[in-house]
Amino acid sequence: MKDFTVDNLTAEVVRAYTANTQSPRLRAIFSALITHLHGFVRDVELTEAEWFEAIGFLTATGQKCDDKRQEFILLSDTLGVSMLVDAINHPKGGAGTESTVLGPFHVGGAPAMPFGGDLRRRHLEEAEPCLVTGRVVDSTGQPIAGATLDVWQTSANGLYDVQDAHAPAWNLRGTFTSAADGAYALVTEKPVSYEVPTDGPVGRLLAAAGRHAYRPAHLHFIVSAPGCETLVTHIFVAGDPYLDSDAVFATKATLIGDFKASQDAELGERFGLPTPFCHLEFDFGLMPS
């Protein structure tokens, strides 16, 4: 009979989960997970009340998830885990556009849009019209034709369409395809700072830590092309007050975009925008897969 004690328990649990595990990678994950988890319990001398509170917190996190909201991704984001996983898995080494977190509100299957298509399916009075243009290129700077750009963002009211009962379906979401010269263009509204959802367990966690829940204004992009590593990234608005304290630790200096006021009436007319309008120019560089 085994006599499990504080002194031998961790080693015994590690042995139980690794002795017959065929995958070397899974053995390494089991060993590190159990060792660090038990180490945490020892380090803080976790009480039974705290243990039950943690179980309740994770249970509530799962219960908050549905087809429109992923509270576990939000939890991972606000703990900095998502950014750490991203940084480890997508080192750019100075080449290619840097990646950042996916976030909890991506929705697959956004409608295909033409070159210069308008993502706005309603027009809020406070929203500033915005033109976004640029190119998709490879790691050597050569244009990539036929790249797919999946784009989404919050509206001027700080909500994604799936959070807003009054928003039309697919508002500020769409997919675009780069032209023969790698160019892309889309019409949207200038993004604004917003709060991540605080009505669930993650909100309670942020409040307990005395942290604000704001994200700096940004556009989401997933850029993909055959033979290239898929890029998941944001473009942030230069000068946003939350660039130094992003609730999900996702900002990077190379992803700051200059959203300029444009008086170019000819360009505005081409894309159906009255002058003045906001204009962002940003090129995406993809790495080979």
Could you read off the pLDDT of 135-171 as tens digits, one per residue?
A: 999 988 999 999 999 999 999 999 999 999 999 999 9
Q: The tokens of 230 are what?
A: 């898929």
pLDDT at 91 over 90: no
Residue 38 lies in a domain: yes
One domain for residues 107 and 249 = yes
Residues 87, 145 within the same domain: yes
Residue 25 sits in the same domain as residue 123: no
138 within a domain of the structure (yes/no): yes
Q: Which residue has the tokens 């899974």?
A: 26
**Tokens 């942290």 found at:** 211
pLDDT digits (tens, 9 = 90+) for 194-232: 999 999 999 999 999 999 999 999 999 999 999 999 999
Residue-number span of the structural domain to which 38 is assigned: 9-46
DSSP state of 241: T
- Work out the percent of the chain whose per-residue pLDDT is above 70: 99
Helix (H, G, I), strand (E, B) or coil at 117: strand
From the list 284, 281, 276, 5, the residue with the least C-alpha distance to 128 is 276
Together in a domain, 20 and 147: no
CA 38 distance to own-chain centroid: 30
Is residue 242 one of the residues assigned to a domain?
Answer: yes
pLDDT of residue 67: 86
Tokens of 226: 């055959």
Q: What is the CA radius of gyration of the chain?
A: 23
Assess whether pLDDT exceeds 70 at residue 79.
yes
Check pLDDT > 90 for residue 280.
yes
Across-strand partners of 22? none
Residues 124, 213: Cα–Cα separation, whole Å: 24
State the pLDDT confidence band at 187, using cuts at 50, 70 and 90: very high
Q: pLDDT tens digit string along 237-277?
A: 999 999 999 999 999 999 999 999 999 999 999 999 999 99
Same domain, 213 and 134: yes
- Please give the tally of structural domains in the chain: 2
Is omega for the bond preceding 276 within 30 degrees of 0, making it cis?
yes
Q: What is the CATH number of the domain that holds 185?
A: 2.60.130.10
